[in-house]
Amino acid sequence: MVRIYEVRFHGRGGQGVKMSSHVLGRAAFLSGFFTQDFAVYGAERRGAPLTSFCRISKEPVATRGYIFEPDYVICLDPTLRMDIVTNGLKNSGFLLLNSTEKPNIDAKFKIKNIDATRIALEIIGRPIPNIAILGAFAKLTDFISMRSLEKAIRIELEEAGHAGLIDANIKAARKCYRVMK
């Protein structure tokens, strides 16, 4: 049976939720995986809750649709309702939360947190943690290398017209990688 890693992203419009899943998908592709990533939009406005998804596998990904039982959840905004964010998260997986503190929830899965917003502000000069937090994710998993993540950041930010932010985002991702326990 082929292992499919399923990652669900939660955040708010303007935090780069969609870009984050897209960069992760590209990094996985560059690491030799087949990938699929997509976002779900509710109210398309800054600050509205947003969910994005990424599937990663060594075989072509034929599964379509939302991810209801993710292996991993990356949450860019700790003000979102944690019961919704963690709904369906597998006990063998983890929640990676952009926060200074772990949420006070009863969970069987692991909870990891990192202040990616502070790191982004410090290095990039903007409170957008989407790329930085992927460095922490790479550290916590064994299937995405920092080398592939850095290449993906370069490609995706260039294509999105953000070439001037590439080096700072790579530096922020590296810092999150280094400080993640």
The angle that helices 116-123 and 132-140 make with each other, rounded to 10 degrees, is: 130
Write out pLDDT tens, residues 115-164.
999 999 999 999 999 999 999 999 999 889 999 999 999 999 999 999 99
Q: How far, in Å, CA of 165 to CA of 170, rounded?
A: 9
Can you give the pLDDT at residue 1? 65
Pairing label, strands 72-75, 94-98: parallel
Can you give the pLDDT at residue 41? 66
Per-residue pLDDT at 64 exceeds 90: no
Per-residue pLDDT at 39 exceeds 90: no
Can you give the pLDDT at residue 43? 58
Q: What is the mean pLDDT of residues 24-41?
A: 92
Domain ranges of the chain: 4-179
Q: What is the mean pLDDT of residues 7-30?
A: 94
Q: What is the mean pLDDT of residues 5-33?
A: 94
State the pLDDT confidence band at 40, using cuts at 50, 70 and 90: confident
Please, how many CA atoms are within 13 Å of residue 59, restricted to the half-sphere of its CB? 6
Adjacency order of strands within the sheet including 72-75: 34-40, 49-57, 4-12, 72-75, 94-98, 110-114
Q: What is the mean pLDDT of residues 2-28?
A: 93
Can you give the three-state secondary structure of the chain, one letter per residue? CCCEEEEEEEEECCCCHHHHHHHHHHHHHHCCCEEEEEEECCCCCCCCEEEEEEEEECCCCCCCCCCCCCCEEEECCCCCCHHHHCCCCCCCCEEEEECCCCCCCCCCCEEEEECHHHHHHHHCCCCCCCCHHHHHHHHHCCCCCHHHHHHHHHHHHHHCCCHHHHHHHHHHHHHHHHHCC
Write out pLDDT tens, residues 69-123.
999 999 999 999 999 999 999 999 999 999 999 888 888 999 999 999 999 999 9
Residue 97 and residue 84 in contact, taking contact as beta carbons nearer than 8 Å: no
Domain 4-179 CATH (choose: 3.30.70.141, 3.90.550.10, 3.30.465.10, 3.40.920.10): 3.40.920.10
